[in-house]
Structure 1
Amino acid sequence: MKRKKIIKIIGIVAICFHFTNCVNDNDFEIPASLGNEENTKLTNLLDSIQAGIYQLKTIKEVKELYISGNEPLKVASKIVVKGYVVSSDQKGNYFREFYMQDAPENPTAGLKISLNLSNNYNKFNFGREVYIFLKDLYIGETNSGDGIITIGGKINPTDALEIQSVSTNQLEKHVFRSENTLEIIPKLVSLAGLNASDIGTFVKVENVVFPENLQGKAFVDPTEDFDTQRKIQTCQTLGFADLLVETSSFASFANKTLPSGGGTIKAVVSNDFGGDFLVLVLNSDEDISMDGERCTTLSESDFLTILLEEDFENESGEISVTDWLNYREEGTQSWRSYSDTYSQSKAARVGSRNSGNASTITWLITKGVNLDTTNEEFLSFETSNSFANGSNLEVLISTNWDGTKTNVTAATWDISPANIVSDGENFKNWVHSTYINLSDYSGTVFIAFKYTGTGNINFDGTYELDNIKINAR
């Protein structure tokens, strides 16, 4: 089970307060070029990569070396990772850290660097190309279990599952910036489609609004000492998708009023402190452009044709809905009927807890649904959990599965941009998926709910599923 810790950061906050209040935004200028010594170090590093002495790995490959919640990994081999800086502490919304992604446009992975350097935007400015020599540094988390894989300089002496900043002395030997500062093109995404793989990348979301009940409020709640999360929404044809914008109380724009119109937001994807849910973190309030009209959306009453509906009320034991498939790819655990005490209804449930299986992969696949008889279709469902604990639930869509067990994994399955319950959600709560637009598909489609877990206690949680529906018109 993910550990919940008492926050012990009063001293850090005091330091943060000092730095964010004593340094004006214009006190420093971004260096236009590198010094000779820095140029030489980077040249030697690149020569070593070219000669095969060092190995250049992608951010994705580096992140795969570590599993969230485990002991930090001290890198023993001579590997290097390259990235482009996508965060900035100039406005005080970051503290002694920066994020970098693997490409200036259409990134596939991002990584957090924890470093003992305030106002680091003066050296590691937005768009700067950076190389990190990882030997003897650590891959881990600064807050164990938060899901933000980070490069650090040493083990936390008070918690062996956490890492601390790369020191000033280590920076000179391990972190090298090139002369290149590239334009970062934010990746256009939907709020519902964001997931853990997007952490550390710079994204853009269109047609967003802050809910009406936040009108007149500031980015940061004046009663909060640290961070405030404010809900942001994007309009869909049917319903809203939403996420949280997280702002530090030390950000220079903390007391500014949230915009009341509609428009776009550009931000870095991250997790909240406990790693329970995704958040968007701004570099500056200037990355919000919401002076336009607020978008509007339709409701279920506008989509009265029901193509698929299942609430599992007639199920018991293993789920066995007519023309559906309950398929175990790996392990012994199937989707089973579950009576929820709090909602007073039945649901489908799957989990690998206490299964003894090294790997659990279980699919629940709907019957085929013909989309050619309607013009617009939207999928929705609800999920809950009992300590999801790093296990994973995906919603997939296929148009070429032939309906047989043997070809489940051979078919093409698209990942659906659905909102699925997070690890930190109260186990009593049911979370709506948002409405997933199926209108780009034609013919017969199958919807799959794919669960993945392991024998590791940090990855053996349980998910519940209910009220699956496809509305159309």
Structure 2
Amino acid sequence: MKKKNIISKNKSIMSNSNKFLTFLSVLTLTVLLASCVNDDDYNLPDLTINEPMIPSDKTTTFEAVKSRLEQAQADGDDTAIIGLDEELYIEGYVISSDRSGNFFEELIIQNKADDSDPASDPRLGFRVDINVASLSDTYEFGRKVYIKLSGLTIGESNGVMVIGKGEGSDVEQIQAYEYKDFIMRSNEVVTITPKVISISGLSEADENTFIQLSNVQINRNELNKTFAGEQDDEFDGFRTIESCEESSTITLQTSTFADFKSLQVPQLKGSIKGIFSRDFRDDFNVLIINSTSDIIFDNNDRCDPIELSCGIATTQGTNNLFSDNFETQLPNSLISGNGWTNFIESGTEGWEAYTSGGSNSSLGISARVGSFRSNDVSTISWLITPAINLDTQDNETLVFKTSNSFSDGSNMELLFSTDWDGTESGITTATWGVLTDAYITQDSDSFSSWFDSGIVDLSCASGTMYIAFKYTGSGEVDFDGTYELDDISIDF
């Protein structure tokens, strides 16, 4: 009986304890709810950014920083170092975004949101190298930032101006533990208006700035490609953007880490916005987009040239209509005579006769053209045959040979026209198509070899035809190379 009373007593104590714990739980929950809501006042986390207090007398311009670098380089230094005791700031706007993976551990900033007042305040940009990924989470496109230059170094990397930490003659990344001491966010986020410009109008001053190209398209020979997902795309994919208004091109550069790398390039024509820059080796100009939303190619009316393809013939004709091996030409003089039209549309370089031995030998006397170190902003040169009447015989063929001295950014095309009037003034207004079957030496070919065009069949064409060898330089005169031409023969 005594044992039973003890058990009942323990049960009573446990029951009272449970009731007390339940009471405490309800009381705690009530207090918590009351603390969260007070007269319908819902408090949100404070996400405001305190505007950095930057002394106005310590702020300098992008132009002044650029001049400081230029002065250092004139004095024989590769970089300009801003001393730790020198309190100095610049302010600008972020124009790059790594959200799509096409930029990595870098911010591109320019000094203005638009291109207003270009005379007194030229639009300029810098690349800021930072050892931090996902920078767009903090420094999004259009965000105004202040950069404290004290302790940083200004230099050039991959051909563009860059800000970072000095390491000898190099500019290295600002490290993750310190970058917020140098790059400060403003509350202000603005709309960035790109500078609308033609490809040929771009200059070094436009590097690291946001631009827009209009009435352009991807070259027709690359429409079957992705942005950067091809087997031979290593680190970056390079695709050719061509203007529909001028004979100018620029390279679209896409990282193989971009999330749109495997998408097919746009098939139509239109406008594209991006950051004007240089390739990794500083060989040629490139355009880098933040995302595919920067491309609006919505016009079906592409500006591709007419193409003529009769195929490759099995045998060369035995009756000659026109030929030239240039052996009668005077070396180092412009090609002339024999019915040729040697026309310089742009620049100072035309097709000239040359002779050379060694590893890059000519075939006796050959014709060549190139804009390398010409100091010409643009080079376009034509070498056009006399008229060939294709209606008086059948089975016409064309053969020639080409070589190059590192053609690099330059290009040679084999064109034809049936409506050119034979005058120099009419060349640029005539309709020129492409003879697509001929092989023209590529930049990847050995510079020491000559390559046969193949026996180009012309039998499917009719009328009076002019055939042109057209050379176009990219405008990068230290990168453009040379093409050589010889042993031309048109037969039936």
Counterpart for residue 14 of structure 2: none
Contact 1:265 1:288 in 2 (8 A): yes
Aligned CA distance change for structure 1 residues 79 and 246 (closer, same or farther; 3 Å): same
Q: Distance in 2 between matches of 1:104 and 1:166?
A: 25
Contact 2:208 2:277 in 1 (8 A): yes
SS in 2 for 1:296: coil
After the TM superposition, which residues 137-286 of structure 1 pair with which residues of structure 2 at under 5 Å, given as runs?
Answer: 137-142=152-157, 146-155=158-167, 160-220=168-228, 221-236=230-245, 240-286=247-293
Aligned CA distance change for structure 1 residues 264 and 429 (closer, same or farther; 3 Å): closer
Counterpart for residue 12 of structure 2: none
Q: Distance in 1 between matches of 2:294 and 2:407?
A: 36
**Which deviations, in whole Å up to 9, do the C-alpha atoms of 1:21-48 show, x marking residues without a partner?**
xxxxxxxxxx995444xx3xx11xx23x
Q: Which runs of 5+ in 2 are unaligned?
A: 1-44, 116-121, 307-330, 336-348, 356-360, 381-403, 414-427, 429-476, 484-492
- State which of 105, 110, 116 in structure 1 corresponds to 2:114: 105
**Which deviations, in whole Å up to 9, do the C-alpha atoms of 1:283-336 show, x marking residues without a partner?**
00111111212332789xxxxxxxxxxx98279xxxxxxxxxxxxxxxxxxx9x
Counterpart for residue 333 of structure 2: 313
**Which deviations, in whole Å up to 9, do the C-alpha atoms of 1:315-366 show, x marking residues without a partner?**
9xxxxxxxxxxxxxxxxxxx9xx9755785799xxxxxxxxxxxxxxxxxxx
Aligned CA distance change for structure 1 residues 166 and 345 (closer, same or farther; 3 Å): same
Residue 375 (structure 2) pairs with residue 384 (structure 1) = no
The TM-score normalised by the length of structure 1 is 0.55
Contact 2:334 2:353 in 1 (8 A): no
Aligned CA distance change for structure 1 residues 383 and 222 (closer, same or farther; 3 Å): same
Aligned CA distance change for structure 1 residues 214 and 298 (closer, same or farther; 3 Å): closer
After TM superposition, the structure 1 stretch with the greater mean CA deviation from structure 2, 178-187 or 72-81, is 72-81
Contact 2:408 2:480 in 1 (8 A): no
SS in 2 for 1:65: helix
Contact 2:91 2:145 in 1 (8 A): yes
Counterpart for residue 422 of structure 2: none
Counterpart for residue 134 of structure 2: 119
Q: Distance in 1 between matches of 2:478 and 2:103?
A: 32
SS in 2 for 1:232: strand
**Which deviations, in whole Å up to 9, do the C-alpha atoms of 1:135-192 show, x marking residues without a partner?**
11011234xxx2111000231xxxx332211123332322112111110011101112
SS in 1 for 2:215: strand
The TM-score normalised by the length of structure 2 is 0.53
After the TM superposition, which residues 291-440 of structure 1 pair with which residues of structure 2 at under 5 Å, given as runs?
Answer: 291-296=298-303, 313=333, 340-341=354-355, 383-385=370-372, 393=375, 395=377, 418=378, 431=410
Deviation for aligned residue 1:63: 2.2
Structure 2 letter corresponding to 1:274: R
Deviation for aligned residue 1:223: 3.0
Structure 1 letter corresponding to 2:215: N
Q: Distance in 1 between matches of 2:147 and 2:353?
A: 51
SS in 2 for 1:166: coil
SS in 1 for 2:63: helix
Contact 2:49 2:186 in 1 (8 A): no
Aligned CA distance change for structure 1 residues 33 and 292 (closer, same or farther; 3 Å): farther
SS in 1 for 2:99: coil
Aligned CA distance change for structure 1 residues 285 and 430 (closer, same or farther; 3 Å): closer
Q: Distance in 1 between matches of 2:221 and 2:300?
A: 17
Contact 2:406 2:482 in 1 (8 A): no
After the TM superposition, which residues 35-74 of structure 1 pair with which residues of structure 2 at under 5 Å, given as runs?
Answer: 35-36=49-50, 39=51, 42-43=52-53, 46-47=54-55, 49=56, 52=57, 54=58, 56-67=59-70, 70-74=77-81
Deviation for aligned residue 1:383: 4.7
Q: Distance in 2 between matches of 1:80 and 1:290?
A: 40
Q: Distance in 1 between matches of 2:479 and 2:212?
A: 32
Aligned CA distance change for structure 1 residues 167 and 464 (closer, same or farther; 3 Å): closer
Deviation for aligned residue 1:72: 2.7
SS in 1 for 2:179: helix
Contact 1:209 1:294 in 2 (8 A): no
Of the two, which has the highest radius of gyration?
2
Structure 1's consecutive aligned runs of 4 or more residues displaced over 4 angstroms after TM superposition are 31-34, 67-70, 338-347, 425-430, 460-466
SS in 1 for 2:136: helix
Contact 1:393 1:463 in 2 (8 A): no
Aligned residues: 298
Counterpart for residue 354 of structure 1: none
Contact 2:276 2:287 in 1 (8 A): yes
Q: Which runs of 5+ in 1 are unaligned?
A: 1-30, 300-310, 316-334, 348-381, 396-417, 440-459, 467-473
Contact 2:410 2:481 in 1 (8 A): no
Contact 1:153 1:170 in 2 (8 A): no
